[in-house]
Copies of this chain bind each other. A is one copy, B any other.
Amino acid sequence: MDLLEGIYSRRSVRQYTSQPVDKALLLEIIEAGTWAPSGLNNQPWRFVIIQDPIWRYNLAQLTQYNQIIETASACIAVFVDKNSMYNDIKDYQAMGACLQNMLLAAHALGLGAVWLGEILKSSSDVRALLELPKDLELMAIIAVGYPDVQNQVSNRKELAEVLLKEF
């Protein structure tokens, strides 16, 4: 898939077929995430793969978007390692860059994915469920599966609205 075309055609995919996603593809998505830039190259990202239906069911109870997590073939929980952080804003930005790489990689691999942020309200419950230490802070969950819906429409502001000045 062409890079620019991929950036423009990527959509949040929330409905999936029952086809399972190969583990190798999930690892490729994570690998792509790790090639994001980070301040001082601190690479603060950490990942947990959740494929088992019972674990996904338990995770799903912690968000109003339970159906997405239950029907996606896999979820990747993305954490920031607080011990690796050096600047909150820059580290959260790096995590966003990592998440975007993951979404683009999923798209390039013919998968559909969505960045779930609402579940951050249950951050500590997610951490407890996955038996992770407190120095890991949940950043998002990415749900992944083969898309059941294509050609979704999305919209963006006109360039003139966001390009404020030119010198």
Contact = CB atoms under 8 A, between A and B. Distances in A.
Interface of A: 1-4, 6-8, 10, 12, 27-28, 30-32, 34-37, 39, 41, 43, 45-52, 55, 79, 87-90, 92-101, 103-105, 107-109, 115, 117, 120, 130-132, 136, 139-140, 154-157, 159, 162-167
B97 A99 contact: yes
A156 B43 contact: yes
Given A48-B167, A93-B140, 7 more contacts: A46-B162, A47-B163, A49-B163, A87-B117, A88-B92, A90-B117, A93-B139
Closest 9 A/B residue pairs (Cβ): A96-B96, A93-B96, A97-B100, A92-B92, A55-B167, A3-B108, A3-B6, A96-B97, A49-B166
Given A3-B3, A99-B97, A34 B89 contact: no
A120 B117 CA distance: 26
A98 B34 CA distance: 17
B47 A28 contact: no
How many copies of this chain does the complex contain?
Answer: 2
A9 to B, nearest CB: 9
Nearest to A140: B93
Contacts of A99: 93, 96-97
Contacts of A55: 167
